[in-house]
Amino acid sequence: MTKSELFRTAHKLTRETIQAGDNYAVTFAAALRILTNETTVTSVTGKVIKLTNTGTEIVAICGSIRFNAVKTAQGFESRFIVSAGAAGNRRISVALEGAELTKAHKLFAKLEAAIASRREDDARHAARHAQIRRAA
Protein backbone atom coordinates (compact mmCIF):
# COMPACT_ATOMS: atom_id res chain seq x y z
CA MET A 1 0.00 0.00 0.00
CA THR A 2 1.50 3.34 -1.04
CA LYS A 3 1.40 6.29 1.34
CA SER A 4 -1.26 7.89 -0.84
CA GLU A 5 -3.44 4.78 -0.61
CA LEU A 6 -2.76 4.53 3.12
CA PHE A 7 -3.88 8.11 3.75
CA ARG A 8 -6.91 7.75 1.47
CA THR A 9 -7.97 4.61 3.35
CA ALA A 10 -7.31 6.25 6.73
CA HIS A 11 -9.48 9.26 5.78
CA LYS A 12 -12.25 6.91 4.64
CA LEU A 13 -12.06 4.95 7.91
CA THR A 14 -12.08 8.21 9.88
CA ARG A 15 -15.17 9.50 8.07
CA GLU A 16 -16.93 6.18 8.71
CA THR A 17 -16.18 6.12 12.44
CA ILE A 18 -16.11 9.74 13.58
CA GLN A 19 -19.02 10.88 15.74
CA ALA A 20 -20.32 14.32 16.69
CA GLY A 21 -17.91 15.98 19.10
CA ASP A 22 -14.93 13.79 18.12
CA ASN A 23 -11.66 15.37 17.07
CA TYR A 24 -10.96 14.52 13.41
CA ALA A 25 -7.16 14.63 13.84
CA VAL A 26 -7.23 12.24 16.81
CA THR A 27 -9.58 9.84 15.01
CA PHE A 28 -7.43 10.03 11.86
CA ALA A 29 -4.29 9.23 13.90
CA ALA A 30 -6.05 6.20 15.40
CA ALA A 31 -7.08 5.05 11.91
CA LEU A 32 -3.46 5.35 10.73
CA ARG A 33 -2.26 3.29 13.70
CA ILE A 34 -4.80 0.59 12.91
CA LEU A 35 -3.86 0.48 9.23
CA THR A 36 -0.09 0.45 9.80
CA ASN A 37 -0.41 -2.41 12.28
CA GLU A 38 -1.76 -4.73 9.57
CA THR A 39 -0.21 -6.16 6.46
CA THR A 40 -1.04 -8.89 4.00
CA VAL A 41 1.64 -11.27 2.72
CA THR A 42 1.65 -14.08 0.18
CA SER A 43 3.57 -17.23 1.11
CA VAL A 44 5.83 -19.08 -1.29
CA THR A 45 2.98 -21.57 -1.77
CA GLY A 46 0.58 -18.78 -2.80
CA LYS A 47 -1.45 -18.51 0.42
CA VAL A 48 -2.57 -14.95 1.25
CA ILE A 49 -2.16 -14.29 4.98
CA LYS A 50 -3.22 -11.21 6.94
CA LEU A 51 -0.84 -10.28 9.77
CA THR A 52 -2.04 -7.99 12.56
CA ASN A 53 0.09 -6.41 15.27
CA THR A 54 -2.18 -6.30 18.36
CA GLY A 55 0.44 -4.53 20.44
CA THR A 56 1.31 -7.69 22.36
CA GLU A 57 1.55 -10.27 19.57
CA ILE A 58 1.30 -10.86 15.84
CA VAL A 59 -1.86 -12.68 14.76
CA ALA A 60 -1.87 -14.50 11.41
CA ILE A 61 -5.18 -15.16 9.65
CA CYS A 62 -5.64 -17.27 6.54
CA GLY A 63 -9.26 -18.16 5.83
CA SER A 64 -10.67 -19.80 8.96
CA ILE A 65 -7.20 -20.48 10.38
CA ARG A 66 -6.00 -17.97 12.98
CA PHE A 67 -2.86 -18.28 15.12
CA ASN A 68 -0.34 -16.28 17.12
CA ALA A 69 2.83 -16.01 15.08
CA VAL A 70 6.51 -15.84 15.97
CA LYS A 71 9.22 -14.63 13.62
CA THR A 72 11.57 -17.06 11.89
CA ALA A 73 14.40 -16.41 9.46
CA GLN A 74 12.28 -17.64 6.53
CA GLY A 75 8.94 -16.07 7.62
CA PHE A 76 6.95 -17.04 10.70
CA GLU A 77 5.35 -19.98 12.48
CA SER A 78 2.61 -20.62 15.01
CA ARG A 79 3.59 -19.90 18.59
CA PHE A 80 1.86 -23.05 19.80
CA ILE A 81 1.87 -26.61 18.50
CA VAL A 82 -1.34 -27.51 16.67
CA SER A 83 -2.92 -30.84 15.86
CA ALA A 84 -2.39 -31.80 12.23
CA GLY A 85 -4.57 -34.91 12.26
CA ALA A 86 -2.78 -37.98 10.93
CA ALA A 87 0.39 -35.93 10.45
CA GLY A 88 0.67 -35.51 14.25
CA ASN A 89 1.25 -32.35 16.22
CA ARG A 90 3.40 -29.60 14.75
CA ARG A 91 3.78 -25.86 14.32
CA ILE A 92 2.28 -24.10 11.32
CA SER A 93 5.23 -22.72 9.32
CA VAL A 94 4.91 -20.04 6.64
CA ALA A 95 7.81 -19.38 4.29
CA LEU A 96 8.12 -15.97 2.63
CA GLU A 97 10.56 -14.49 0.11
CA GLY A 98 11.73 -11.06 -0.96
CA ALA A 99 9.38 -8.13 -0.35
CA GLU A 100 6.85 -10.36 1.43
CA LEU A 101 9.50 -11.45 3.96
CA THR A 102 10.55 -7.81 4.43
CA LYS A 103 6.95 -6.72 5.10
CA ALA A 104 6.46 -9.44 7.72
CA HIS A 105 9.79 -8.75 9.42
CA LYS A 106 9.00 -5.01 9.57
CA LEU A 107 5.75 -5.77 11.38
CA PHE A 108 7.59 -8.04 13.84
CA ALA A 109 10.25 -5.33 14.36
CA LYS A 110 7.52 -2.77 15.12
CA LEU A 111 6.06 -5.11 17.75
CA GLU A 112 9.49 -5.78 19.27
CA ALA A 113 10.19 -2.03 19.48
CA ALA A 114 6.84 -1.38 21.18
CA ILE A 115 7.46 -4.15 23.72
CA ALA A 116 10.99 -2.83 24.46
CA SER A 117 9.59 0.67 24.92
CA ARG A 118 6.95 -0.60 27.37
CA ARG A 119 9.61 -2.48 29.32
CA GLU A 120 11.72 0.68 29.57
CA ASP A 121 8.68 2.66 30.72
CA ASP A 122 7.90 -0.01 33.33
CA ALA A 123 11.49 0.06 34.60
CA ARG A 124 11.45 3.88 34.87
CA HIS A 125 8.13 3.74 36.69
CA ALA A 126 9.38 1.06 39.11
CA ALA A 127 12.55 3.06 39.83
CA ARG A 128 10.55 6.24 40.42
CA HIS A 129 8.10 4.36 42.66
CA ALA A 130 10.98 2.90 44.70
CA GLN A 131 12.51 6.37 45.03
CA ILE A 132 9.22 7.81 46.31
CA ARG A 133 8.79 4.95 48.79
CA ARG A 134 12.34 5.48 50.14
CA ALA A 135 11.67 9.20 50.57
CA ALA A 136 8.43 8.58 52.51
Backbone φ, ψ for residue 75 (5° rounding)? 160, -110
Q: DSSP alpha helices (H): ranges in 62-97?
A: none
| Mutual angle of helices 24-36 and 3-17, in 10-degree steps | 130
Count how many domains the chain has. 2
Q: Give residue-wise pLDDT tens across range 90-132.
A: 888 899 999 999 989 988 998 888 888 889 999 999 999 999 9
Q: Give residue-wise pLDDT tens across range 68-79.
A: 999 999 999 988
Q: Are residues 81 and 131 in the same domain?
A: yes
Q: Which of these, 74, 15, 75, lies nearest to 39 by C-alpha position?
A: 75
Q: Which domain holds residue 6?
A: 1-36
Q: Are residues 85 and 128 in the same domain?
A: yes
Q: Are residues 30 and 88 in the same domain?
A: no
Buried b (16+ CB within 10 A) or exposed e, 32-49: beebebebebebeeeeeb
**Residue 5: pLDDT above 90?**
no
Q: Are residues 63 and 109 in the same domain?
A: yes
- Say what the pTM is: 0.65
